[in-house]
Amino acid sequence: MRNILAALVSLAVAVAQPATPVRIQVINSLTKAPLAGASVTVDSAGLQNSAKITGRTGDNGVLEKNSPFFGSALITVRIHGFRMIGGGMMGKIAEIQNGKPSETTVEMLPLGVLAGRVLDQYGDPVRHAIVSTLQTGNDAEPYRSLFAATTDDLGEYRIADVEPGSYHLAVEYTSRDEHNYTRQSRYQWPEFGGLILFPDASDFSHAQQVKVGSGETVRLADGRLPIERSVTISGHLKPGKTDGAMISAQRAGPRINRHQPGAMSTHIAADGSFNIEVLPGEYTLKASDRSGKISPSLTVDARDKNITGVELALGPGYQISGRIVVDGPTRQDFSKVILNFMSEPVKIDSSGTFHTTAPDSKVRYIIQGLPEDWYVKDVRVLGRSIAGRNLELAPGESDVLFTLSPKGGRVEIFPERTDPGASEPAMCALLPEDGIVDVNSMLAAQRGADLSANFVFHSVPPGSYRVFLLDVSNFTWLFRPDVLLEKYRNLAPLIIVTEGEQKRTTVRLTKLPEE
């Protein structure tokens, strides 16, 4: 991604006169008090050009330096316990005029601290437990953990730099992580650990949310984390002899673990026997082998004691029998198309036929190497058209049909001319007005290295799109296009692209509100 940042930089950098003083004042946004020791970067926004001012604010909260450049600049300030406000996601855009002093005030929002203690079932402190905040995420990752801390020998933790708001907290410990903190014991010990939601719940309906305000340190009640030893799940895979088979155990419920994905996997012995050690919980077991055979999932409750005699049988797995066809009379050699289903690239013959094995019933496809202006017009799984790139396969063999069209649209976006020194667009995105909006359905283009003024999109499927033209302070919104569209749809003009259309349009820089 750093390359993207480097590539999208397009602000014209001009060498400044020897005396172009720049003064950055950094203050606490609530108290307006100056912040000393803040790390300030004033960037011509160019890694390629790398004209930059860096330094720390003094006791008066000010950094003063002569700028080696003038023009539009991105100011970034970092200091523990605060985050920038009044700018874009990346920083604040400011104008540096050649030979003229410039002064910018950057306001920093004080963040919160969540402090507390973790005790075990006996009331003893739990050392090296990880306490992390949980926020609602997306389908792939329902709960996102952004802020975390580790307990000390007294079980105490302080989660710092927490964005003001309400959170659930996950509290987890596994002895498996002890080697991260101390020298490993000479002996092998059984694994032990636990996972709860604050203060002592095993599910969200019983968990308590905690709230922290800006600049606030909240002392929480003790978290109660029962520490239990691991249990063993053992059994056999049918048929008895296996070739490179593996078994995986995925902890049931929301994936809230921070350092452990809640999944374990191990090899199955040649005679089909397996043995897997897990922390107490409900697990979904699944076996697979090198040929792509997969067992149906089996859920086991492994809480109080070892589970023995589990039997899994390998089934046919998820085979894909596929074809790629062209909509229309054009003939195409498909052997150069790169297609994969979250695994190795599929071998496609020149007529577009392929056969492969999917690692799971739910897979995402990626297709590359299409000729310019071609696009994927339709994807059908077992005769049914799908939206987006996610496929749901039936056990056994599934017919998958890709229909490509050589008639993708070509869209050229011309940024509306702005005043000299004003913020320049760095990246342009077309977000579908309807249907699934994610990084896969989004079309994005960056400014060319030759600083050409327009953004060009090839292979645009017919449809309606919102056009976002973002400057360097805001381009990271493109990592969350769904949220960008939901919040700022009305700030982006709508364009309609028909099949094979060559569209040219002028668009103004998208002015996102300051966050």
Contact characters 261-290, other proteins, x per CB under 8 A: ------------------------------
Contact between 43 and other proteins per CB under 8 A: yes
Among 64, 120, 412, 482, binds other proteins (CB under 8 A): 120
Contact between 190 and other proteins per CB under 8 A: yes
Stretch that binds other proteins, among 22-30, 151-159, 356-364, 443-451 (CB under 8 A): 151-159
Contact between 52 and other proteins per CB under 8 A: yes
Contact between 185 and other proteins per CB under 8 A: yes
Contact between 376 and other proteins per CB under 8 A: no
CA dist 292 and 355 (Å) reads: 12
**Residues 6 or more apart in contact with residue 31 via CB below 8 angstroms:** none
**CB of 88 or CB of 322, closer to other proteins:** 88
Among 51, 62, 106, 113, binds other proteins (CB under 8 A): 113
**CB of 5 or CB of 509, closer to other proteins:** 5
Contact between 178 and other proteins per CB under 8 A: yes
Contact between 139 and other proteins per CB under 8 A: no
Among 12, 36, 263, 326, binds other proteins (CB under 8 A): 36
CA dist 152 and 170 (Å) reads: 17
Closest C-alpha among 115, 19, 138, 10 to residue 67: 19
The DSSP code for 289 is: -
Contact between 186 and other proteins per CB under 8 A: yes
Locate tokens 């076996």: which residue? 287
Contact between 2 and other proteins per CB under 8 A: yes
Any idea how long the chain is?
515
Question: In angstroms, what is the minimal distance from the CB of 446 to other proteins?
Answer: 14
CB 348 within 8 A of CB 334: yes
Question: In angstroms, what is the minimal distance from the CB of 90 to other proteins?
Answer: 7
Contact between 183 and other proteins per CB under 8 A: yes
* Alpha helices (runs of H) in 89-129, residue ranges in sequence order: none
CB 443 within 8 A of CB 437: no
Contact between 122 and other proteins per CB under 8 A: yes
Contact between 395 and other proteins per CB under 8 A: no
Q: What are the b/e assignments for 443-467, b being 16+ CB within 10 Å? A: bbbbbeeeeeeebebbbbbbbebbb
Among 83, 192, 204, 246, binds other proteins (CB under 8 A): 192
Contact between 305 and other proteins per CB under 8 A: no
Strand order of the sheet with strand 307-313? Answer: 273-278, 231-238, 307-313
Closest C-alpha among 251, 253, 230 to residue 307: 230
Contact between 419 and other proteins per CB under 8 A: no
DSSP string, 61-89: SEEEEE-SEEEEEEEEEE-TTEEEESS-S
CB 401 within 8 A of CB 380: yes
Among 18, 136, 182, 331, binds other proteins (CB under 8 A): 182
Contact between 187 and other proteins per CB under 8 A: yes
State CA 514 to chain mean position distance. Answer: 22
**CB of 260 or CB of 351, closer to other proteins:** 260
Contact between 37 and other proteins per CB under 8 A: yes
Closest C-alpha among 297, 178, 301 to residue 231: 301
Q: Which two tokens stand for residue 153?
A: 């020998």
Q: Which two tokens stand for residue 75?
A: 């100011």
Among 65, 158, 259, 380, binds other proteins (CB under 8 A): 158
Among 19, 33, 85, 154, binds other proteins (CB under 8 A): 154
- Say if residue 379 is exposed, middle or buried (CB neighbours under 10 Å; 0-12, 13-18, 19+): buried
Contact between 508 and other proteins per CB under 8 A: no
CA dist 267 and 409 (Å) reads: 49
Stretch that binds other proteins, among 120-128, 350-358, 366-374, 378-386 (CB under 8 A): 120-128
Stretch that binds other proteins, among 52-60, 347-355, 405-413, 501-509 (CB under 8 A): 52-60
Strands (E), 8-155: 14-15, 21-28, 39-43, 52-56, 62-66, 69-78, 82-85, 92-96, 102-110, 112-119, 130-136, 143-144, 148-150
Which residues make up the interface to other proteins (CB under 8 A)? 1-2, 5, 36-37, 39, 41, 43, 52, 54, 59, 74, 76, 78, 80-81, 90-91, 113, 120-122, 124, 127-128, 149-150, 152-154, 158, 160-161, 175, 178, 181-183, 185-187, 189-190, 192, 227, 229, 476
